[in-house]
Chain A
Amino acid sequence: MTDIVMLTVVGVLMALAIGLVAKFFGAKTDPLVEQLGELMPGANCGGCGFAGCADYANAMAAGKAKPGSCPSMSDETLKKVCELLGVQAEKGDPKVAVVCCSGDDHHATRVALYNGVNDCLNAMMVAGGAKGCTYGCLGLGSCARACPFGAIEILPTHVAKIHPNLCKGCGKCESVCPRHVIKLVPRSAAAINVYCNSPEKAPVKKKVCSGGCIGCRKCVKAAAEGQMIINGFLAAVNYDNPPPESVVEVCPAKCLRKAE
């Protein structure tokens, strides 16, 4: 019986001591930063341009950054943040990542059997990744591992696929991709995309991938002036002035496609 009493007393005393210490010696934090911090999504994706959510909250509280740069914050939360800071919300155009490659196992050739670390960056350092096309997706998932939202899936046919509903457009995948296949585009204009990244001439491309853009300019002609751009032998959607979705029908290589 005395044991129980003693333990209880000791426990209460210790709890009190901890509480007092925390009260008097605790680190002083700005209540604004704390409140902001609670509203942050906590994914630490870096899409805002800061090192992480806490960093961004600090910057906002100090007036060095504006709300709205966070790609994964919902509109409601943004409103609350703006109320806290007493500023107008100005949300930028949301972005979405697109894997500009059709080179899955059905279309692209492999020139060798790669054996080693299952990571695109590592593979790039061994004979350039052993995929016929030196511009396409290696499909070893560096981007999928980098994505803080789990929005990237590596298909069994060895090509990365982005789920637009999960993608917040933070750009982590874009920065990690050694082949620069992933492009960040405005979500509003991303209905159709050119799924090819190779600037090579059509015959060179054809040898290594049957899904690549052949630079035939049919889409350029079918779309209105300035809606499709062609760089060398690679067509691209002008995201400032996107073409209608019907343009995809003219593409003979089926590499201008609707977003899945």
Chain B
Amino acid sequence: MTEQTIKMPDTSQLVVSSSPHYHDRDTVQKIMFKVIGALTPAALASVYYFGWRAFMVIALCMVSCAAFEALFTRMMGRELAINDGSALLTGMLLGMNLPVTVPIWMCLVGSLAAIGLGKMVYGGLGGNPFNPALVGRVALLIGCPAAMTTWVKPVGCGFAKWVDATTGATPLALIAHCDATTTATRKAVESVASAGYPSVLDLFVGNCGGSLGETCAIALIIGGIFLICVNIIRWQVPVCYIGTVAIFTGIAYAFEPCAHFNPILHILSGGLMLGAFFMATDMVTTPLNRKGSVVFAVGCGILTCVIRLWGSYPEGVSFSILIMNALTPLIDKFTAGRPFGK
């Protein structure tokens, strides 16, 4: 019997690195695909309400964003980073921010603006100060306001057919119209409502006009709660954002119920749900710590209300988030925690 030999490690191929040597194994890619997953219920709802064209718009935006990202990384001589999923997510968010009737060329231009102007000019993922999807949307909104604000009524259980162009204003467009006529009375509001104004339930399930992804509040809330559970977004952001809007519009409603719509309608309509759960929580463009996130969300809420109640645009979510994006470095600076013991 020979003595049992002990196998000793071969030390020639050892990895050395700085501590820590453990990692929780989360990656950028996993985060991006989880967010895409969380957006999927709302995307499906949009296909349900607006028909297959909705699917086409979202898919086209996703594909073109990924293609533009590939093109730009190639031009910059960088390693291809499509599989981190960030371009797909940008495309999905952009698509969900467009009306179903949007022409195909506008999807492409929007994707180009989102990836090119929103992201790659700043050096790619992590460097962009503004939410790329919103940059794309706002570029289109300013460039072609007509096409971007032509809303159609949902076709109901309309998986079957392409949408016919029965135009219907979004609730917020109605509100803006109502605000513009300063002599509006409660009666006028009611008459507008009776003329085609969706009920709260309709708003909740998404049976109303609007951008693809913003109509179905329930689907967005489900996705948002999933993201909170997997620690990708902070619960403070949607809560503070929506809360601020509710309080602000509530006060306005309390003072002048004839000129304003009630807060519940404000919360459930427009891009607020989409913005609060998926865009004000974008990692790259929002503050780093929780305190900063709260400041950011409250700021977004106030700006949204200001634009909605007194601005000329019916919708304020995109602009308010972009403005707060610009303030993020300042918020970071002023909310930086003092180290433990200082």
A contact set with B: CB distance below 8 Å: 111-116, 122, 125-127, 130
| Bound-complex Cα distance A116 to B20 (A) | 11
Cα A134 to Cα B17 in complex, Å, equals 17
Chain B interface residues (CB < 8 Å from chain A): 11-18
Complex interface: chain A residues within 8 A of B13 (CB): 112-113
* Given A113-B16, A122-B18; 12 other pairs, CB 8 A cutoff: A111-B11, A111-B12, A112-B13, A113-B13, A113-B14, A114-B15, A114-B17, A115-B15, A116-B17, A116-B18, A126-B17, A130-B16
The reply to whether A112 and B16 contact each other, CB–CB distance below 8 Å, is yes
Minimum C-beta distance from B190 to chain A (A)? 46
Q: Whole-angstrom distance from the CB of B165 to the nearest CB of chain A?
A: 41
Name the residue in B13, B15, B17 with the highest tally of chain A Cβ atoms < 10 Å from its Cβ. Answer: B17
A186 to B104, CA, bound (A): 67
8 contacts between A and B (CB under 8 A): A113-B13, A114-B16, A116-B18, A122-B18, A125-B18, A126-B17, A126-B18, A127-B16
Find chain A residues with CB under 8 A from B18 CB. Answer: 116, 122, 125-126
Chain B minimum-CB-distance residue to A115: B17
Q: Chain A residues near B16 (CB, 8 Å)?
A: 112-115, 126-127, 130
Provide the residues of chain B in CB contact with A116, threshold 8 Å: 17-18
Distance (whole angstroms) from the CB of A198 to the closest CB of chain B = 21
Closest-CB distance, A132 to chain B (whole angstroms): 11
B20: min CB distance to chain A, Å: 12
A127 to B16 CA separation, bound complex (whole angstroms)? 7
B23 to chain A, nearest CB (A): 12
A114–B18 alpha-carbon span in the complex (Å): 9
A115 to B16, CA, bound (A): 6
In the bound complex, CA of A126 to CA of B13 (Å)? 16
Q: Which A-chain residue is minimally distant from B17 (CB atoms)?
A: A115
Smallest Cβ distance from A235 to chain B, in angstroms? 31
CA distance in complex: A126, B14 (Å): 13
Among the interface residues B12, B15, B18, which one has the most CB atoms of the partner chain A within 10 A?
A: B18
In the bound assembly, the distance between CA atoms of A112 and B9 in angstroms comes to 13
Q: How far is the CB of B319 from chain A (nearest CB, A)?
A: 29
Instruction: For A113, list chain B residues within 8 Å (CB).
Output: 13-16
CA distance A115 to B11 in the complex (A): 16
- For the complex, give the distance between the alpha carbons of A126 and B19 in Å: 9
Q: How far is the CB of A234 from chain B (nearest CB, A)?
A: 27
Complex: how many Å from CA A185 to CA B180?
79
Q: Which residue of chain B has the shortest Cβ distance to A128 in the bound complex?
A: B16
B contact residues around A114 at 8 Å (CB): 15-17
Which residues of chain A are near B11, meaning CB under 8 Å?
111-112
- Report the Cα distance A223→B9, complex, angstroms: 48
CA distance A175 to B16 in the complex (A): 26
Docked pose: A187 CA to B17 CA in angstroms:
39
Question: Contacts of A115 on B, CB cut-off 8 Å?
Answer: 15-17
